[in-house]
Chain A
């Protein structure tokens, strides 16, 4: 996985979980891609979210 792919996966995971927390609609496709992204990242959700937040500077 290259850096660009990793960044995209991290953003995807953060976006989906932000939507969930804000009670916004999450489609099954979005959920599936975020789950898949997390699997590919090989990180816990907590680590992925912390890492994603470092991209948003």
Chain B
């Protein structure tokens, strides 16, 4: 007789993958919607539009440096680099990551304040401020991935 528990147990990895995929897709959708609303609110002001682009640029820079950091860990774990190389690269990338993370956080906070000053809704900053550095960082990375996906869709349409 078919049992859902038995099915789940036997297909644990696939089920976990599916759940992970659904969570990631939902998260991406939420970020896409949040940024669409922010962008719409910024549309009426040149200053806000310009600063929105600055925020995006920091999101991309942050994702780039976190990617470098993660790659360094992978290379070290897989024995692709020496302990010396790991040590020296770690210091450099970590410093850069810290600096760009701070600038990214500042850019979100400045945009939020500018929006409030222009009478726009800036409630989106609350969960970031509550979540701290990690929340800002995740928001920036997800925004970057959302933009890459959109960029590819546009590219495919034009080719």
Contacts and interface: CB of A to CB of B under 8 A. Distances in A.
Classify the interface of chain A: helix, strand, loop or mixed: helix
A21 B21 contact: no
Chain B interface category by residue count: 20 to 34
A56 to B, nearest CB: 5
**Which residue, of A8, A47, A51, A54, has the highest number of chain B Cβ atoms within 10 A?**
A54
A52 interface: yes
A52 B148 CA distance: 12
B28 interface: yes
A11 interface: yes
Which of A4, A51, A55, A56 has most chain B Cβ within 10 Å? A56
Contacts of A22: 60, 64
B151 interface: yes
A14 B74 contact: no
Contacts of A46: 149
Interface in A7-57: 7-8, 11, 14-15, 17-18, 20-22, 45-47, 49-57
B143 to A, nearest CB: 10
Interface in B119-159: 134, 138, 141-142, 144-145, 147-149, 151-152
B106 interface: no
A47 B24 CA distance: 9
B67 A21 contact: no
A53 B74 contact: no
B50 interface: no
A49 B66 contact: no
Nearest to A5: B78
B53 interface: no
A18 B60 contact: yes
- Identify the 6 closest CB pairs spanning chains A and B, nearest first: A50-B24, A53-B145, A21-B151, A56-B66, A17-B148, A49-B145
11 contacts: A4-B77, A8-B74, A14-B67, A17-B151, A18-B60, A18-B148, A45-B149, A45-B152, A50-B24, A52-B145, A56-B66
